[in-house]
Structure 1
Amino acid sequence: MRSMFGFTWRFEMTAPWRILSLPPIGEDIVWGLFAPLGDAAEVRFAATADRAGLHAALADAEIVIGDFTGRLRIDAAAVAAAPHLAFVQMPAVGTDSLDVAALTARDVPVANAAGFNRRGVAEWAVGAAFALCRNLAWGDRRMREGGWPQPELLALRPRELHAQRVGIVGFGAIGAESARLFEALGCEVSYWTRRPRPEASATYRDLDDLVASSDVLVLAVPLTDETRGLIGPDRLALLPDRALLVNVARGGIAPDDAVLAALDSGRLAGAALDVFDTEPLPDGHPLRSHDRVLLSPHAAGGSDLSQLNLVAMVRDNVSAAVRGETVRNVINGVDPQVKRR
């Protein structure tokens, strides 16, 4: 406070926003992202990557960049341990590592990085479908073992992707981009989502009808209480003979044991799985040795361009919160104007 010519001037320094960044994003990357904010933000990290470290770090955190692996899940107990929490930014599309209901009850906006990897994941889905149609992984394994499996490979009845009916479960950014790419290859594409898209060029079908009419079924729907087990044994039994499954969504939507049973029964001719019920996939899990499964370590969205898109979206949204601007991609209906607590 300062007095001059009978007037009193009051200067108040605004405290820096306290940003907590959780693993696995590297600390050097985070420092670089928010260095331009200068004194307006203070970046912090949990002292230990466990529940105790998380709760201690949340005690005075205002903005949190979440852990997309789910190891440091922000559950109801973590929300209760964060009295100043004003905004959560997920560096991912999925928000299943958060208790969104608990955050919403506290009026905390939750944002994801919707669309950052749409092209990368869609290309993986198409590439995986190609690989399944032509049994590329199977042939590669036999060749590496010293064989020349030409007759056996032809006996598996390789097929051309353009002639397959493709069904896509979920029609967000990834589902829509997948549909566009499959259509460009000449595939007949249908989709299911809770809210049909009148503008979509693909054909909308009820879920059971979609499953029953899909030679290639692509899962691209978020994991929620409603979608867990969505493609279970009963729906897998609806698939046409020799159908193929491509899962770029989340483990648990098509449970691993249900997929294994469909493979063993012959209902599924093959599956390309980027996600699993438990990650990492346990050693010795039957999927690891199944001959008609293409495995990937939850890396469908891991292209260079996708990662650049991700860090830019996280940087821009957190910086907007610090500057008092509206944040984007809020998924829980809370006011996108971030307010201090």
Structure 2
Amino acid sequence: MSVCLREVILLRVVFVDANETLAAVAERVVQLEGLEFSINRDPGIKPDSLPELLKGASVAIIDHTALSREIAEKCTDLRHVVFLGTGARSYMNPEELQAIGITVHTIKGYGDTAVAEFAISLMWAAAKGLATMDRGIREGRWLRTNGLQLTGKTLGLVGFGGIATECSRLALGIGMKVVAWNRTPRSHPGVDFLDVPDLLAQSDVVSLHLLLTDETRGFMSRERLKAMKPGAILVNTARGALIDDEALIEALTHGPLAHAAMDVFDTEPLPAGHPFTRLENVTLSAHSAFRTPEASDNLLAAARDHCRRIMAAS
């Protein structure tokens, strides 16, 4: 007599907002015995659709969809959120979710090299006026800009985690001087650690690498922007809310900043007609610093490992 044994399902997981690229990676990478895994291929899903989507699922993998406490309370089976990145606080309040029995897990380090390369790319584009020339040529204007030579200039890194460490490696390799500030004491070969006022005063380029917290929100205030070196460039691949937008527009319009290059914004997508889009001395990208095949593989592998740990603890 033969006995048909059904697979034992230990954990039901839903990836709630996968784009085409991440869905393909997730199908290949997120595989575990005892894991029932489904993917919602609508990256534009609305938060109020989550309770229905997450019926029976104890884990939600989230890339960019907001999850308020009000919505989470309606997801009655949900016990864990695996957020794809470190910036969960831009989309949810981990403490509020913890209070109703939902643990938020974040993923660090998966794209340190990708983001660092992107930050350095934004620095180069800003220093050489590449976006301005590109826009002008497309409009039939033969614009020629005077670029900033970066060799011998100073890069200031605000926050010194994995991404900034990679930035320092790349910048030192092209002959820049690197200074940094971190909230907790750090040391690193070739990098001078300064306090914030000295870093801002000395740096030809300032690149932000802070997590967004209540303490760092608005870190680049009007006072700090005014304290930057005249003609400096500001690069942000961290979180848009680290900068006071109105103060940044003022600093770009009236000084001291020469240019801002940003991959992240307080509101995303950046609204049409936003003042940043009307300033010639701004280079914009669409929150894409971490989007490389290597980083995506690392990201979904880390999400799978979170699921494995959750199963082991169940």
TM-score by length of 2: 0.87
Q: 1:321: Cα distance to partner?
A: 2.7
Out of 17, 29, 33, which is 1:23 matched to? 17
* 1:37 match: 32
Out of 95, 105, 112, which is 1:101 matched to? 95
* 2:4 match: none
Moved more, 217-226 or 91-100: 91-100
8 Å CA contact 2:94–2:103 kept in 1: the answer is no
* 1:137 match: 131
Kindly report which structure 2 residues correspond to 1:111-126, keeping only aligned pairs within 5 A, or say none: 111-126=105-120
* 1:279 match: 268
* 1:194 match: 183
8 Å CA contact 1:75–1:99 kept in 2: the answer is yes
8 Å CA contact 1:46–1:53 kept in 2: the answer is no
How many matched pairs? Answer: 304
8 Å CA contact 1:22–1:46 kept in 2: the answer is yes
TM-score by length of 1: 0.80
8 Å CA contact 1:211–1:217 kept in 2: the answer is yes
Out of 162, 165, 181, which is 2:154 matched to? 165
Q: 1:131: Cα distance to partner?
A: 1.6
Structure 1 residues 103 and 159, CA, compared in 2 at 3 Å: closer, same or farther? same
**What is the rounded CA distance, in whole Å, between the counterparts of 1:217 and 1:114 in structure 2?**
22
Unaligned residue ranges in structure 1 (runs of 5+): 1-12, 325-337
**What is the rounded CA distance, in whole Å, between the counterparts of 2:78 and 2:221 in structure 1?**
37
8 Å CA contact 2:85–2:106 kept in 1: the answer is yes
Out of 164, 179, 191, which is 2:168 matched to? 179
**Could you give the per-residue CA deviations for residues 62-100 of structure 1, whole angstroms, max 9, x where no partner exists?**
12212x32xx32222244334544432111232122211
8 Å CA contact 1:167–1:218 kept in 2: the answer is yes
Task: For residue 37 of structure 1, give the secondary structure of its aligned residue in structure 2.
Answer: coil
Q: 1:23: Cα distance to partner?
A: 0.4
* 1:251 match: 240
**What is the rounded CA distance, in whole Å, between the counterparts of 2:104 and 2:36 in structure 1?**
20
Query: Percent of counterpart pairs with the same letter?
Result: 32
Structure 1 residues 118 and 272, CA, compared in 2 at 3 Å: closer, same or farther? same
* 1:328 match: none
* 1:334 match: none
Structure 1 residues 116 and 45, CA, compared in 2 at 3 Å: closer, same or farther? closer
Structure 1 residues 316 and 47, CA, compared in 2 at 3 Å: closer, same or farther? closer
Q: 1:237: Cα distance to partner?
A: 0.4
CA RMSD of aligned residues (A): 2.6
Q: 1:45: Cα distance to partner?
A: 5.7
**What is the rounded CA distance, in whole Å, between the counterparts of 1:47 and 1:261 in structure 2?**
40
Please tell me whether residue 87 in structure 1 is matched to residue 87 in structure 2.
no
In the alignment, residue 224 of structure 2 is paired with which amino acid?
R
8 Å CA contact 1:255–1:277 kept in 2: the answer is no
Out of 49, 57, 69, which is 1:76 matched to? 69
**What is the rounded CA distance, in whole Å, between the counterparts of 1:60 and 1:33 in structure 2?**
22
Unaligned residue ranges in structure 2 (runs of 5+): 1-6
Report the structure number with the largest CA radius of gyration: 1
**Could you give the per-residue CA deviations for residues 205-253 of structure 1, whole angstroms, max 9, x where no partner exists?**
2222222221101011111211110102111000011110111011111
Task: For residue 246 of structure 1, give the secondary structure of its aligned residue in structure 2.
Answer: strand
Moved more, 281-290 or 94-103: 94-103
Q: 1:107: Cα distance to partner?
A: 6.2
Structure 1 residues 106 and 203, CA, compared in 2 at 3 Å: closer, same or farther? farther
**Could you give the per-residue CA deviations for residues 128-176 of structure 1, whole angstroms, max 9, x where no partner exists?**
11122122222233333334444xx24xxx2211222111111111111
**Could you give the per-residue CA deviations for residues 266-311 of structure 1, whole angstroms, max 9, x where no partner exists?**
2110111111121111111121121111110111111222222222
